[in-house]
Chains A and B, each alone.
Chain A
């Protein structure tokens, strides 16, 4: 799975938690989940759990530490997918 494929799928994961649909359509690695997408911090656990279910991975606390923007979110998902191989 490529970074672009994961980025496109993440748009669906983030969609229920952001009202900024225009920003969501054009997300890049640098897009900040809280500052740019205006995702409430109370929904970050939802996003982690949705990503875990979508990719059949487990995101531990140390990895969750790294999820700040779209790029680091993709990094963590790719790392966990590679561990599952």
Chain B
């Protein structure tokens, strides 16, 4: 079954002091992953951003796999980011817009990762700005069939964000599928599904929200 997984982190909402404490980051990063940070290319990225980048990659991978493995539990340390490539000349910039949508990550300054858990190997693309990190995970290096969106919203109430991200995705799907009456539901294990007149459409979707940020991916 096709799948997708995404995650968004509001860097304005993280606790920087706590993130830098070993007792915190050691529950997210393995010693090998911490070594990745010592690559020269990461010098311009604050350590707290690196920790939350890996979190977002791992959570996206978890969401990707959970669809077909209902008993999977998210323990970040059990997901291994084996490789993380920063685009040449990468610098941390402001997000500078309120909404961004795309298909694939060509022409984007995306950080590309390879993740393993057990026998599964997955691939990630992440966008990181001063305000946010968004990651999307796929089972192939080619993301051309993976669509994604990021939007800034007013309001940090989880219920409001949950409604807003569903509306954001439905508006996009309505445009690309030329279908009205789409509803985002949830299956028995909490995976979001796209419904039309009660029937599930063969579209894999993933939703995420954190503080005033919402994001989707679909395939």
Chain B nearest Cβ from A9, distance in angstroms = 20
Q: Are A65's CB and B18's CB within 8 A?
A: no
Contact pattern, A 41-56, Cβ under 8 Å of B = 1, otherwise 0: 1100110110010000
Q: Are B190's CB and A42's CB within 8 A?
A: no
Chain B nearest Cβ from A12, distance in angstroms = 18
Chain B, residue nearest A20 (CB):
B158
Q: Are A41's CB and B18's CB within 8 A?
A: no
Q: Counting CB contacts under 8 A, is A8 at the interface?
A: no
Chain B, residue nearest A59 (CB):
B27
Q: Are B157's CB and A19's CB within 8 A?
A: yes
Q: Size band of the B side of the interface?
A: 20 to 34
Which label, helix, strand, loop or mixed, suits the secondary structure of the A interface?
Answer: helix
Complex Cα distance A65/B79, Å?
A: 13
Q: Given A41-B74, A65-B73, A65-B75, check contact A35 B190 (CB 8 Å).
A: yes
Q: Counting CB contacts under 8 A, is B159 at the interface?
A: yes
Number of interface residues, chain A, beta carbon within 8 A: 16
Contact pattern, B 16-50, Cβ under 8 Å of A = 1, otherwise 0: 00100001100110000000000000000000000
Q: Given A35-B190, A42-B9, check contact A49 B24 (CB 8 Å).
A: yes
Most chain A CB atoms below 10 A, which of B28, B59, B158? B158
Q: Point out the residues of chain A lying under 8 angstroms from B23, CB to CB.
A: 49, 52
Complex Cα distance A64/B78, Å?
A: 11
Q: Are B28's CB and A45's CB within 8 A?
A: yes
Q: Given A41-B59, A48-B27, check contact A61 B77 (CB 8 Å).
A: yes
Q: Which residues of A contact B (CB under 8 A)?
A: 19-20, 35, 38, 40-42, 45-46, 48-49, 52, 61, 64-65, 68
Query: What are 6 A-B pairs with beta-carbon distances under 8 A?
Result: A20-B158, A35-B190, A38-B158, A38-B159, A42-B55, A42-B59
Give me 15 other A-B pairs in contact (C-beta within 8 A), A19-B157, A45-B28 excluded: A19-B158, A20-B158, A35-B190, A38-B158, A38-B159, A40-B158, A40-B210, A41-B74, A42-B14, A42-B52, A45-B27, A45-B76, A49-B18, A65-B73, A68-B73
